[in-house]
Amino acid sequence: MDAYKQFADIYDLFMAKDVPYDAWTTYIDGAIRKKFPAKGRADLTMLDMACGTGNMTLRLAALGYDIIGVDISEDMLMQAQEKSFDAGKRILWLAQDMRALDLYGTVDAAICTCDGLNYLLTDADLREVFRRLRLFMNPGGIFIFDMNTEYKFKEVMGNGAFGDTTQGAQYQWENHYDPVSRINTYRLTFQIAAPQKNGQPELFTELHRQRAYDPKDICDFLLAGGFTAVTVRDGYTDAPLSPTSLRVTFICHVQS
């Protein structure tokens, strides 16, 4: 869970190249509008869990939702707060570990995108997040989230290395997947071209770990945590999950 420290400053540069935020926003908005056809967006309170620098939060706020952003990284939230100020959006940003989620009230909808829940490495932690979230969800609410699949960790990322460069920054990604523990470990080494006082580019490294889960287990955890009618999809589409899906999206409901 202790990730995204120095990366917060350049997070958006790399994520913008790989994450279709606008398409995901359209999908999430459509699911919520279908759930609450008689309510306007401004009448709905939403939670963005593991919100990072607020890329999804701000898009949903721009549509009119009353939204709260929660993340464990204060550095990420500082970026999010600056962006919301620049956009003229009043958003409540909370620095919290989602395993100890503690809101000031309840919400009608919740999301967790960009595989934030894969960072929970034990069944107990994941169960606790679902249990805590359910405490703060209104009857008839909806929870939408995504997770990376084991196929992606094992077959696509595997045990290898790759990198990318954008706008004066570059990174090297060294990946290792352990099929026994189902833990995917990746070491990110970043280089920022702007020279430091010694004339050398800035270098820093971060270690991240994510765990692969069986979607059937996730559904069981959700049901045990108080959610109902869980739907599983291939990414943010209406297609069913397949053995080669890279990302799974869960749409979960709370009983009215």
In tens, the pLDDT along 79-92 reads: 999 999 999 999 99
> Which residue(s) pair with 200 in the sheet?
none
- In this predicted structure, what is the pLDDT of residue 168? 67
This prediction's pTM: 0.91
Q: Locate the DSSP E strands across the chain.
A: 45-49, 66-71, 92-95, 107-112, 137-148, 161-166, 169-178, 183-195, 201-211, 228-234, 247-253
Strands 183-195 and 169-178: antiparallel
Spell out, as residue ranges, where the chain has pLDDT lower than 70.
1-17, 166-168, 193-201
